[in-house]
């Protein structure tokens, strides 16, 4: 708890983190229903008041103000240093809580880029609810936000679908993330769950804990008729139907089910691309919406229900490679083994030759330079990181029951990130999607 307050304090005090503070201020105004003009003036006053409150609560908890001050300085030291080449870019981008006050722009590529002028998807809408709010990943290019809004309304009005549950979009300034995706970096990717929205508003806790439902049966090679419906076909087809959508990624078994359901009407299927995972959600990717954003080649205009699917099913039946962190994966006969450099100790993970390589004392090795640091990012993303946040941010539809836990969770996460320190690269396939 002390740590959380220190971090909150640090965000409120550190001018570099103005974005976070002001964004929070705007959230407070919005949820209190204060009108915009009054809000603009009162954000700073409110922040001062909040900072004072926090300071006094720390002082009360610690017993004396001095301790609180020392603690907040300590926390300040922990803020990741942009110039340090051993700090991965995902830590820098994961640390910023608000958007960059710039014209909306996707910069770079899905797997190596960032987002200027990010806009949040409202937590609730007439036909959608945003999930996993503590991740603070409901940000995107304004075109992605307006796409999701119209898509959600359309499935509700036309496809007999009660509404959509929206998973991760991007971080407020895009960029790489500490956990999960390699893509989703430039604000034009969105995960939409494949189970329908319930007919009531989910609580913050439910949005954190409710699981998405897999569409596959036990074989993991077929959709499960008990959960897969004709509506799913309509909803996925609608997602792909908009001209701004470049592709929709789904599990190969789902693509197969769509191929079967489509009969002779297969033209629309070219945008539906098979990919690993994606049986709990579909991944919608828009085309680039501005210059400076690098598009992926458009998918070929073929439905892909034949050879392409055969290829994917062959891949699915292959045994997966085991994880190997800080080591090199080598073939041993029919299986794999993760070999560690001599200076590191091997700790097995899983049963099939996977391992992580650690120091003698069990800690993870700390490289002096990491490959994916800020220098690895496009130049324009350095500016995105440095910019302040807009004076008033529209965090729409947030009320106290949602806003308070989001703020707490984000503060918790900032602490957690400090403790993560070093990062195990996710053992996922290179992105060709």
Residue ranges that bind Zn ion, judged by CB under 5 A: 191, 283
Cα–Cα distance, 417 to 422 (Å, whole number) = 9
CA distance 63 to 56: 10
CB nearer Zn ion, residue 90 or residue 283: 283
Q: In the 8-state DSSP scheme, what is residue 114?
A: E
In terms of Cβ atoms closer than 10 Å to its own Cβ (0-12, 13-18, 19+), residue 230 is exposed
Minimum separation from the CB atom of position 109 to Zn ion (A) = 15
Nearer to Zn ion, 10 or 185 (CB): 185
Q: To the nearest 5 percent, what fractions of the chain are helix, strand and coil?
A: 40, 15, 45
Minimum distance, C-beta of residue 329 to Zn ion, in the bound complex (Å)? 25
Q: Is the dihedral of CA 195, 199, 201, 202 positive or negative?
A: negative
Identify the residue whose tokens are 């700390």. Answer: 366
Residue 252 or 327: the one with the smaller Cβ distance to Zn ion is: 252
Rank residues 30 and 283 by Cβ distance to Zn ion and give the closer one.
Answer: 283
| Least separation in angstroms between CB 113 and Zn ion | 15
Q: How many angstroms separate the CA atoms of 257 and 272, rounded?
A: 12
In 3D space, the residue among 370, 350, 352 whose CA is nearest the CA of residue 424 turns out to be 370
CA distance 113 to 185: 6
State the CB neighbour count (10 A cutoff) for residue 9.
23
CB of 412 to Zn ion, least distance (A): 24
Q: Burial code of 109-147, b = ≥16 C-beta within 10 A, e = fewer?
A: bbbbbbbbbbbbbbbbbebbbbbbbbbbbbbbbebbbeb
Q: Is the Cβ of residue 5 or residue 115 nearer to Zn ion in the bound state? A: 115
Residues 118, 173 contacting (CB under 8 angstroms): yes
* Shortest CB 163 distance to Zn ion, Å: 19
Q: What angle do CA 91, 139, 41 make, to 5 degrees?
A: 95
Q: Which is nearer to Zn ion, 169 or 389 (CB)?
A: 169
Residue corresponding to tokens 């796409």: 147
- The least distance separating Zn ion from the CB of residue 392, rounded to whole angstroms, comes to 30
133: DSSP letter: G
Q: What is the dihedral of CA 8, 12, 17, 19, to 10 degrees?
A: 100
CB of 18 to Zn ion, least distance (A): 30
Nearer to Zn ion, 279 or 283 (CB): 283
Q: How far is the CB of 310 from Zn ion (least distance, A)?
A: 25
How near is the Cβ of 283 to Zn ion at its closest, in Å? Answer: 4
Give the residue nearest to Zn ion (CB).
283
**Residue 9 or residue 166: which is nearer to Zn ion going by CB?**
166
Residue linked to tokens 């993560």:
420
Nearer to Zn ion, 108 or 354 (CB): 108
């Amino acid at each position: 708890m002390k740590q959380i307050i220190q971090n909150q304090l640090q965000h409120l005090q550190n001018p570099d983190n103005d974005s976070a503070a002001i964004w929070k201020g705007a959230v407070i105004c919005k949820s209190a229903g204060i009108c915009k003009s009054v809000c603009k003036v009162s954000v700073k006053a409110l922040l001062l008041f909040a900072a004072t409150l926090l300071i006094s609560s720390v002082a009360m908890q610690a017993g004396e103000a001095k301790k609180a001050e020392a603690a907040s300085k300590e926390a300040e030291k922990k803020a990741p240093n942009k110039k340090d080449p051993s700090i991965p870019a995902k830590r820098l981008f994961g640390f910023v809580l608000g958007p960059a006050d710039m014209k909306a722009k996707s910069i770079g590529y899905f797997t190596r880029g960032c987002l200027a002028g990010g806009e949040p998807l409202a937590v609730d809408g007439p036909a959608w609810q945003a999930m996993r709010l503590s991740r603070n990943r409901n940000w995107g290019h304004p075109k992605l936000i307006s796409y999701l809004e119209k898509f959600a309304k359309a499935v509700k009005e036309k496809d007999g679908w009660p509404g959509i549950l929206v998973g991760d979009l991007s971080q407020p300034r895009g960029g790489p993330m500490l956990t999960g995706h390699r893509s989703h970096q430039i604000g034009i990717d969105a995960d939409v769950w494949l189970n329908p929205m319930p007919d009531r508003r989910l609580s913050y806790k439910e949005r954190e804990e409710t699981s998405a439902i897999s569409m596959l049966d036990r074989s993991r090679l077929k959709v499960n008729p008990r959960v897969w419906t004709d509506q799913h076909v309509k909803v996925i087809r609608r997602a792909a139907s908009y001209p701004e959508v470049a592709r929709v990624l789904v599990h190969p078994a789902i693509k197969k089910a769509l191929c079967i359901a489509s009969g002779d009407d297969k033209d629309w299927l070219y945008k539906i691309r098979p990919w690993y995972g994606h049986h709990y959600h579909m991944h919608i990717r828009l085309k680039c919406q501005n210059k400076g954003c690098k598009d992926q080649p458009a998918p070929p205009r073929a439905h892909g229900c034949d050879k392409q699917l055969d290829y994917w099913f062959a891949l699915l039946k292959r045994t997966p490679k085991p994880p190997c962190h800080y080591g090199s994966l080598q073939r041993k006969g029919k299986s794999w083994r993760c070999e560690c450099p001599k200076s590191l100790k091997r700790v097995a993970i899983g049963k099939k030759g996977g391992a992580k390589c650690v120091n003698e004392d069990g800690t993870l090795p700390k490289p002096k330079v990491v490959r994916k640091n800020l220098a690895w990012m496009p130049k324009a993303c350095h500016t995105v990181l440095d910019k302040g946040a807009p004076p008033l941010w529209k965090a729409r539809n947030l009320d106290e029951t949602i806003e308070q836990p989001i703020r707490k969770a984000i503060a918790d996460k900032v602490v957690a990130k400090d403790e993560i320190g070093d990062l195990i690269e996710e053992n996922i396939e290179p992105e060709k999607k």
